[in-house]
Copies of this chain bind each other. A is one copy, B any other.
Amino acid sequence: MVAIILVEPQMGENIGATARAMKNFELSDLRIVSPRDGWPNEKAQNMSVGAIDLIENAAIHNSLKSAIADLEYVYAATAASRDMNKGYVLSKNVMQEAPMQASKVGVMFGRESSGLNNQEIAYANKILTIDTDVNFSSLNIAHAVAVICYEIFQAKNQPRKDLDHDVEKLAAHQELEYFYEHLFSVLEKKHFFKNPEPMQQKIRNIFTRIDNLSHKELQTLRGIVTCLDKR
């Protein structure tokens, strides 16, 4: 199952169109972070046509963090090339690139006007990009959702990327959050941060790049931080 996360969507029509495209391609887990015009949204309902069930069951969140807490692998769908050392995956490889044992994958999409910001992208394991004309690369958000859902559906019967080590339960994003909280509080205490926000973003971008980070490995990382924190 793949979740679609809309981050601060502005127009109800696009939320409705997203629900419809998801249902066309057999997806149902819609999560919305702080929709601009509140919730419920009549325009979203009208535009969803036969996918009103997805609108009614959409999970509304106040933060991206809570929206992706249970997910094991998260993509940030964005066209812009970012000065961020994060891997890119082309839309056609969306499922082949997601690690095989990740049972909970999500794709997040940004605002119509400005997409996802770097802070939000830092939460993703990889950037998911749709190949377009380089001179006209800004896709309508519902079109981008439709293309991605289409590719997820096409990939249903394709084998997913396998691992060269034993399959272990992956760490969910919530666990990673606990790790960051722990790490950041220790670093804070030791006056590591001059400017916390950009540095924390950099740190997120390092750890989200660890492919297939398992629950056990994350416990090891936490153990390391605890150990280093001891006098």
A140 CB–B CB distance under 8 Å: yes
Which chain A residues in 113-148 approach chain B with CB under 8 Å? 130-133, 136-140, 142-143, 146-147
A24 CB–B CB distance under 8 Å: yes
Which chain A residues in 25-82 approach chain B with CB under 8 Å? 25-26, 49-51
A173 CB–B CB distance under 8 Å: no
Known: A17-B140, A147-B150, A150-B147. A132 touches B92 (CB 8 A): no
Taking a contact as CB atoms under 8 Å apart, the answer to whether A25 and B140 are in contact is: no
When distances are taken between beta carbons in the complex, the residues of chain B under 8 Å from A24 are: 132-133, 136-139, 143
Q: How large is the interface on A (under 10, 10 to 19, 20 to 34, 35 or more residues)?
A: 20 to 34
When distances are taken between beta carbons in the complex, the residues of chain B under 8 Å from A133 are: 23-26, 153
A interface: dominant SS: helix
A4 CB–B CB distance under 8 Å: no
Taking a contact as CB atoms under 8 Å apart, the answer to whether A154 and B92 are in contact is: yes
A21 CB–B CB distance under 8 Å: yes
Contact of A21 among B26, B92, B143 (CB under 8 A): B143
A20 CB–B CB distance under 8 Å: yes
Which chain A residues in 135-180 approach chain B with CB under 8 Å? 136-140, 142-143, 146-147, 150, 153-154
Please give the residue numbers on chain A whose beta carbons come within 8 Å of chain B beta carbons, in ascending order.
17, 20-21, 23-26, 49-51, 91-92, 130-133, 136-140, 142-143, 146-147, 150, 153-154
17 residue pairs A–B, Cβ–Cβ below 8 Å? A17-B140, A21-B140, A21-B143, A24-B137, A24-B143, A26-B132, A26-B136, A50-B136, A51-B136, A91-B150, A92-B154, A131-B153, A133-B153, A142-B142, A146-B147, A147-B150, A150-B150
